[in-house]
Amino acid sequence: MRKPILILVFILISIFPVSGSLIVQVNIHGVINPATVISVERAMALAEQKNADAILIVLNTPGGLVDSTIKIIQLIDSSPIPVITYVAPSGAISASAGSFILLSGHVAVMSPGTSVGAATPVQIGAGGVTPVENKTINYMASYIRGIAESRGRPTDIAERFVTESLSLTAREALRLGVIDFMANSTSELFEKTDGMRIRFRGGEYVLRTSSPSIIRYNPGIEEKILNVLSNPQIAAILLLIGIYGLIFGITSPGTYIPETIGAICIVLALYGLGTFEVNILGIALIILGVIFTIAELLTPTYGGLTTAAIVCFILGAILLPKEPLLSRSFYVGFAFAVGGAAGVIAIFFGYALFKILQAKKMRRKVGGEELIGRTGVVVESDGNTCLIKIRGEIWKGRSEEILEEGDEVIVTGRDGLTLLVKKIR
């Protein structure tokens, strides 16, 4: 009897396989940029290919670029597979742009000890980090309100994220209905979502997340490189290195190394700058710094124009990004990091250019001009004319006074190949 029963069980398992759910996980850590969009897009494609039951987006971000944030939200909206957004681990944040993405999830979850909010669009300027103009705030407020409404979350609270820079802890977010529940871990999250009924693609959907097999999407080399270049800090520093590298190479030709490095850095910087919105004032200050540097090379002011160029480069680099969904804390850190790096780079290259100018000035002094101010000894005299030994070389000299052999003289000028000298008394 046992053998037929075992065969029957085997056949039933083959026809109706017993297995757990399949989840594809993708992490959004750090600044949200075009590389983040590629990662989310590829993770969703993988989920479709594997016929996954859900997509898990784990958030820990201070904010990011507006265009990239909107693209990720559009990917979530058009996904044929339910998306769970989860702020984790404990201590993580989902600020500014991260708040928009958290609310866009079909299920929104936070780990205890995390926070969400502070999505007021800001900008960095002469007065520090300040809110942007009202029309941008109103637009972003209506956008996040629409996201909250589509997911059945409180629109008034979502709007306050933008208009009042409201920030909530996980417990506060749960109490106000911003998230669906809290979970200490992904295993607890999947346990709570299994069998959960959600609104999905215009209807009701029952999540299946029991005994999940998790496929974690890992970014490829392309995304990692793009993630670095899309960072406003890296793009600004590369731009400064590139500009100074080209200037350094032009003023000291022959090695081709500074020009090559400078050209590569500028190309990479321009690519990075193309991924986020830049401030025209920042670009103008950097261009002004280049003009000051070139002017210093043409008409040396012994540091005056170099100092002005350094100030322009530092301020231009700090003011360069203009992305309203980068958080206030990001901009403060950006100002310190890029301002410090720009200062070090500018001072280093400024000192190098100053030394080059000094060397060029010394090279211009050839023959008798180089000897003006130096002292020598008369080795042969014929009244007012003489032969003088200076630095081991014999020069013809002339003086307004009678010179004798052995007299020590100082060079005061030149007349053709004849040095004008004066006896040292």
Q: Please state the domain extents for the chain.
A: 19-222, 231-363, 368-423
Residue 375 · residue 424 · CB < 8 Å:
yes
Do 399 and 409 touch, CB atoms closer than 8 A?
yes
- pLDDT tens, 178-203? 999 999 999 999 999 999 999 888 78
Would you please indicate which residues are annotated as catalytic (active-site) residues? 96, 135
pLDDT confidence of residue 193: 95
Taking the C-alpha atoms of residue 36 and residue 28, their distance in angstroms, rounded to an integer, is 7
How far is Cα 396 from Cα 380, in angstroms, rounded to an integer? 10
Q: Higher pLDDT residue, 29 or 243?
A: 29
SS3 325: coil
CB 53 within 8 A of CB 207: yes
Q: Specify the pTM.
A: 0.72
Measure the CA–CA gap between 163 and 116, rounded to whole angstroms: 14
116: number of Cβ within 10 Å: 28
Q: Which two tokens stand for residue 91?
A: 């201590």
pLDDT in tens, 321-353: 887 887 777 777 777 777 777 777 777 766 666
Answer yes or no: are the C-beta atoms of 213 and 190 closer than 8 Å.
no
What integer is the mean pLDDT of 59-85? 94
Q: Domain 368-423 falls in which CATH fold?
A: OB fold (Dihydrolipoamide Acetyltransferase, E2P) (2.40.50)
Is 84 within 8 Å of 146 (Cβ atoms)? no
3-state helix, strand, coil in the chain (%, to 5): 50, 25, 25
For residue 82, what pLDDT band results from cuts at 50, 70 and 90?
very high
CA dist., res. 330 & res. 336, Å (int): 10
Class of the CATH domain delimited by 19-222: alpha beta
Pairing status of strand 115-117 against strand 107-110: unpaired
Q: In the Cβ-directed half-sphere of 163, how many Cα atoms lie within 13 Å?
A: 14
